[in-house]
Amino acid sequence: MRLPIYLLLVISILLLCSSCQNVSQGNTSQEDRPPNVIVIFMDDMGFGDLSSFGHPTIQTPEIDRIAQEGQKWTNFYTASSVCTPSRGALLTGRYPIRIGLGPTQSNKRVFFPNSLGGLPSSEITIAEMLKEQGYKTGIVGKWHLGHQPEHLPTTQGFDSYYGIPYSNDMDPVGGWKLESFFMKPDHNKWNVPLMQDEEIIERPANQHTITKRYTEKALEFIEENKADPFFLYFPHSMVHTPIFAHKDFVGKSPRGLYGDVMAEIDWSVGQVIGKLEDLNLDKNTLVVFTSDNGPWLVMRETGGSAGLLADGKGTTWEGGMRVPGIFYMPGTVQSGTITDIGSTLDLLPTIASMTGATVPEDRTIDGYDLSDVLKNKSSSPRDHMIYYRNQDVYAVRKGEYKAHYITETCYALDTGREELEEPLLYNLNVDPSEKYNHASDHPDVLSDLATLVAEHKISVKSVPNELNKY
Ligand code: MG
């Protein structure tokens, strides 16, 4: 039986309207919902290890693209020059000394496989803050904030976890030997576990394929949570030595294996951005790319580069704590190079501002809300940075000037701690390599910096030390 023409017309209009409604509902929910957040956090990648930050032979076109189209911060700092305190500070917006992660012993600056401590459960992480807003939360990669069951990521606001619980050089088979880092990479030499939520699923973790597998998990997480606001914390375990690249990348870079590993990381960043574009989520997702501390210089060619900055990981010279900072969100983050000061401490308040979440009000938050810089390229609300090594303030920066009160060089080639009788003073805008001391020319600046440090110290309360629990 043939339907009358008017009935066909009515059915067609109804079908058309219903599909219009679906499209319009889809768009509305996409635009109305708060933005997703992805934090890609490198391990031991130095200020000079990206092509967009001046490396002459490492090629990172995908990362360079988001730096070019987003904001590239050139005075961006971590709150510590080693892994554990740096990660705690990023997730809580608080200096490590406030959260039990300010070390008291030079050989216990991070958690080791026999550690019992962790980020205290009383601390509020970005994941916990966003869960209050209904976000889906996941971590893929290296945790390093306590691996006892009560300290795993799933106790700190993350719905899911896939990754290694501490550094990729820990639990070395036959003991820790510097030479083993310079030999042909063999993941069996490091008995590092790979975990899914609370379970160990592989040991030793095959680190040759770890970046690839992290990337697959990250893409899965995005796909599975595309219908809801999500927070993905993506801390890679590379380029912390021992370094490993998938065979598809080995031998590709003139920089050697380190360049190959960076090429694979760059591919991974491209995959994440591509996934967001495919799902039409790129304009509603804030992507942050940075590093936990500077390059591990004692690892020679298998470690990274701080470029023109002095020294590296473990120190309070610029190379230890100044890292590339990149923010990307097309249509929201105004592109450009930002030379004002920013820090990983600022991510919590910035993310709160951009998602409508509430910054914890019952505690000192050391971070500043950078969202107005991201959206309007206004001046950064952060004008200073305090450089801790362990429990001590070694240095402070305010504006262009940085004073050092205590100096100490790189981690394992320790030349000794020196408490200076007279502080050193460098103008970091003019002299980013900290070569020319101008302390005697600016007693007023030194006095101002000393006041800032004294006021900060008054605000620090003593808390139980988590790094000494064994
Ligand atoms: Mg590190």
Contacts (Cβ under 8 Å, ≥6 apart) of 74: 53, 325, 337, 338, 339
pLDDT by residue (tens digit) across 7-20? 554 554 444 434 33
Domain 386-468 has CATH 3.10.20.600: no
C-alpha 293 to ligand 1 mean position (Å):
5
**For residue 175, what is the DSSP state?**
S
More confident residue, 121 or 184: 121
**pLDDT score for 72:** 98
- pLDDT for the residue 415: 60
Q: For residues 53 and 108, which has the higher predicted lDDT (pLDDT)?
A: 53
Domain boundaries, the chain: 34-382, 386-468
Q: What is the pLDDT of residue 104?
A: 86
Q: Hey, what's the torsion of the CAs at 291, 297, 300, 301, to 10 degrees? A: 30
- Predicted confidence at residue 106, as pLDDT, reads 78
Contact 220, 270 (CB under 8 A): no
* Model confidence at 73: pLDDT above 60: yes
- Single out the catalytic residue among 17, 20, 55, 144: 144
Share the mean pLDDT of the chain: 92
pLDDT above 90 covers a percentage of the chain that reads 86
Q: Give 267 Cα–ligand 1 centroid separation in angstroms.
A: 21
236 in catalytic set: no
- Read off the pLDDT of residues 293-335 as tens digits, 9 standing for 90 and up: 999 999 999 999 999 999 999 999 999 999 999 999 999 999 9
Q: Which residues have CB under 8 Å from 1's CB, separation 6+?
A: none
> CA-CA distance, 320 to 171, in Å (whole number)?
25
- CATH superfamily for 34-382 is Alkaline Phosphatase, subunit A (3.40.720.10)
Distance CA(136)–CA(209), nearest Å, equals 26
* pLDDT at residue 57, as a whole number: 98
Q: How far is the CA of 363 from the centre of ligand 1 (A)?
A: 27
Q: What confidence category does residue 409 fall into, taking pLDDT thresholds of 50, 70 and 90?
A: confident
| Residue 26 banded pLDDT, cuts 50, 70, 90 | very low
Q: How far is the CA of 26 from the centre of ligand 1 (A)?
A: 41
Indicate whether 29 pLDDT > 80. no
Instruction: Specify the range with the lowest mean pLDDT, choosing from 26-30, 214-218, 336-340, 359-363.
Output: 26-30
Mean pLDDT over residues 29-47, rounded? Answer: 90
Q: Which of 385, 403, 311 is nearest to 341 (CA)?
A: 385
Indicate if the pLDDT at residue 246 is higher than 80.
yes
Assign 180 to helix, strand or coil. Answer: helix
Average pLDDT over residues 205-220: 98
What confidence tens digit (pLDDT) does each residue in 75-107 have?
Answer: 999 999 999 999 999 999 999 999 999 988 878
Tell me: pLDDT of 403 over 80: yes
- pLDDT beyond 60 at 184: yes
467 pLDDT tier (thresholds 50, 70, 90) = very high
Asked if 44 and 144 count as a contact pair (C-beta separation under 8 A), the reply is: no
pLDDT band at 31 (very low <50, low <70, confident <90, very high): low
Catalytic residue list contains 144: yes
Q: For residue 44, what are its two tokens?
A: 């031991």
Task: Say which of 55, 83, 151, 236 is annotated catalytic.
Answer: 83
Mean pLDDT in residue range 405-432 = 86
Average pLDDT over residues 215-227: 98
167 CA to middle of ligand 1, Å? 8
Residue 94 to residue 98: CA distance in whole angstroms: 7
Residue range 142-181, pLDDT digits in tens: 999 999 999 999 999 999 999 999 999 998 998 888 888 8
Least confident of 48-57, 63-72, 413-422: 413-422
Helix, strand or coil, per DSSP, at residue 256: coil
Is-same-fold flag (34-382; 386-468)? no
Mean per-residue pLDDT, 17-39 = 60
Distance 378 CA to ligand 1 centre (A): 31
Average pLDDT rounded to a whole number, residues 363-380: 98
Per-residue model confidence (pLDDT) at position 160: 98
The model's pLDDT over 46-55, given as tens digits with 9 standing for 90+, comes to 999 999 999 9
Q: Mark out the alpha helices in 237-285 (DSSP H runs).
A: 257-278
pLDDT in tens, 438-463: 999 999 999 999 999 999 999 999 89
